Amino acid sequence: MTKLIVALLFMGLNSYTYHLFATKAVIPDRQPFMIFPAELGNGWSCPKFERMDDNVEAELGVTDYLLCTFVNRERNEIANVYVGYHVTQVREDGGASENSIHPPAHCLPGSGWDIIRNDTVPLDIPGLPQENATAKRLVIAKGNQRNLVYYWYQSRGRVISQDWQKIVFVGLDRATRQRTDGSLIRITVPMRRSGEAVAQAVFDSIAPEIVSRLSEYVPE
């Protein structure tokens, strides 16, 4: 409840301070995900970059995104990677907008997935723009399927995992830096018969290959 109150206060402060200090939104330079490499290190590659339906893109409010089920043929492993970049997350009148990044933990149950574990964990991956970064680590289930999911918000030089932090920093950065851009990084690994430990090893293998290339596509 305390975190919710803090977030609501900062949303109000965002509207007030923006009109006092911010004049024009800053749109940072970046590369489009259409040139993200299909061949990564450590044996990982993307057979085909995927596109979502227009209505799904509109609902997410995403500006640009990377979506692919990467494969490692040498080890017979797969990992679905989504990186969604939002050039802005607010309306010009100071309120929240449809462009705000949707937390996966809120959306997954609506897609039929049960969250059977939800932890906040340290994220120690070379190439992250922030020390002491954290991520959400979920284990989700639908029928006989089990997936390991990691996600975090990588926005304006920060790497955070809590929804209330995302709201607070959007308001603060809008007022002081005229920026509300940000991204969601989500990596999903199927948990096959080999179990959670093997799925974790798959994440540990592909995550550095994605993160080390994000600085061109996700501005700090």
- Vertex 173, ends 168 and 176: CA angle to 5°? 130
Global pTM reads: 0.85
Q: Of 7-21, 82-96, 101-115, 134-148, give the lowest mean pLDDT range.
A: 7-21
pLDDT (mean) for 50-62:
91
3-state secondary structure 20-44: HHCCCCCCCCCCCHHHCCCECCCCC
pLDDT, mean of residues 86-114: 77
Residue-averaged pLDDT of the chain: 86
> Could you report the per-residue pLDDT of 12-22, keeping only the tens digit for each?
555 544 454 44
Helix (H, G, I), strand (E, B) or coil at 155: strand
Total domains present in the chain: 1
Residue 96 confidence (pLDDT): 47
> How far from the centroid of its chain's Cα atoms is residue 1's Cα?
24
**CA-CA distance, 128 to 131, in Å (whole number)?**
7
The arithmetic mean of pLDDT across residues 117-141, rounded, is 94
Which range of residues forms the domain containing residue 16?
Answer: 2-216
The per-residue pLDDT for range 204-213, each reduced to its tens digit, is: 999 999 999 9
pLDDT (0 to 100) of residue 20: 47
Q: How far is CA 13 from CA 16, 92, 139, in A?
A: 5, 15, 35
- What is the phi/psi pair of residue 116, to 5°? -100, -10
Paired tokens of 22:
């911010």
Over the stretch 160-197, which tens digit does the pLDDT of each residue have? 998 898 888 888 888 888 888 889 999 999 998 878 99
The whole-number average pLDDT for the span 34-40 is 97
* Residue 107 confidence (pLDDT) above 70: yes
